[in-house]
Amino acid sequence: MNSLQDKKSLTVLAIESSCDETACAIVRDGRTVLSNVIATQIEIHRRFGGVVPEIASRNHTLAIENVVREAIKQANVTKDDIDAIAVTYGAGLLGALLVGVNFAKALAYAWDKPLYAVSHVKGHIAGNYIDGTLEPPYLCLLVSGGHTAIVKVEDYEHITLIAQSRDDAVGEAFDKVARVLGLPYPGGPEIQKKAREGKPVFDMPVPKSSGLDDLYFSYSGLKTYVINLVHKLQQKGEELPVCDIAASFQKCAVKQLIDALELVSDATGIKKLAIAGGVSANEELRRAADGLKAKGCEVYYPKLVYCTDNAAMIASAGYYAIMSGAEQADMTLDAKATVPLK
């Protein structure tokens, strides 16, 4: 029990800097966003074809103060309206995370506010709560640049891992396939755009699990298949059918996710399903997930702005951590490159 749990209403200021977005948001009661400011570094990293960790940290340092000031201004609040500060402590790029963690510690100290450490993955899951009605328990398909997994969200604080990728994350596969197709970083939205103009004519491999006991995801096979296909076509001097390859890849990547989600839903009898993480912005994935409604499933995904990295989802997860009686962090809080999925 903490004193904040007794309050009628809680306003959380959150900071997120795990990768290439510097973000600050102010959220009331876990679901109402007062402000959500994101300074993206995508243009800076695009010329390198992916995120350069050292450059990401430096740009977080340059951006963070203005981003936090802007979030406070847009929410039209003062420090007295803020009940707690939440910050992403992992998983992510260490140097990038440290900028947000240290800024949050300084703010909590200067303002004398309680500080809460939030896992990035739990933040992505909480993206589904913003402006929404979803409540645990449910199954969540986590799909980002760093994770591909199905977890059972038992309650607001506890998740149980059911299956995960043995190799690449699905977002990573989108990014790598985009790169071999000559599309800019980040690859997911680019593949989606090209796929709209193409047909899924290439029969690409989809790993098959026989049941819940050996359920896993794998994207290295699919990625290698596309790389080999591209090299073969280039050697023959043929023009790359970029749109058809994108459509075929996206279809197979999504099929693997939805087949697994359906399998877990059938095996567990859990019909409340959510999707979270950057790849949950994908229109083909949303369409395929909606298809499960025909089987009596409820399907949830975050609004587009809360799919990719943002701080509103961290504020929401922070709120539910407080309400679940989670321990406060202190000035020894450290960033972690990896955080177990639990």
Which residues in this chain contact Zn ion in the complex, by CB under 5 A?
144, 309
CB of 182 to ligand KG4, least distance (A): 15
CB of 273 to ligand KG4, least distance (A): 18
Piece of the chain touching ligand KG4 by CB under 6 A; list 35-43, 99-107, 240-248, 273-281? 273-281
Question: Do residues 309 and 56 touch, judged by C-beta distance below 8 A?
Answer: no
Tell which one of 100, 136, 145, 318 touches ligand KG4 (CB under 6 A). 145
Interaction partner, residue 318 (ligand KG4, Zn ion, none; CB < 5-8 Å by kind): none
CB of 20 to ligand KG4, least distance (A): 9
Interaction partner, residue 36 (ligand KG4, Zn ion, none; CB < 5-8 Å by kind): none
Tell which one of 30, 95, 127, 171 touches ligand KG4 (CB under 6 A). 171
CB of 146 to ligand KG4, least distance (A): 4
CB of 21 to ligand KG4, least distance (A): 7
207 binds ligand KG4 (CB under 6 A): no
90 binds ligand KG4 (CB under 6 A): no
Task: Lay out the site mask for ligand KG4 across 123-142 (x = CB under 6 A, - = otherwise).
Answer: -x------------------
Q: Give the CA-trace dihedral at 319, 321, 324, 325, to 10 degrees.
A: -110
CB of 169 to ligand KG4, least distance (A): 7
Distances (CA, A) of 71 to 12, 107, 137, 175, 201: 12, 14, 32, 30, 46
- Closest to Zn ion by CB, 182 or 340: 340
183 binds ligand KG4 (CB under 6 A): no
State the Cα–Cα distance between residues 333 and 104, nearest whole angstrom.
10
- Closest to ligand KG4 by CB, 33 or 314: 314
100 binds ligand KG4 (CB under 6 A): no
- Closest to ligand KG4 by CB, 40 or 328: 40
Positions touching ligand KG4 (CB under 6 A) are: 19, 124, 144-146, 171, 174-175, 186-189, 192, 277-279, 281-282, 308-309
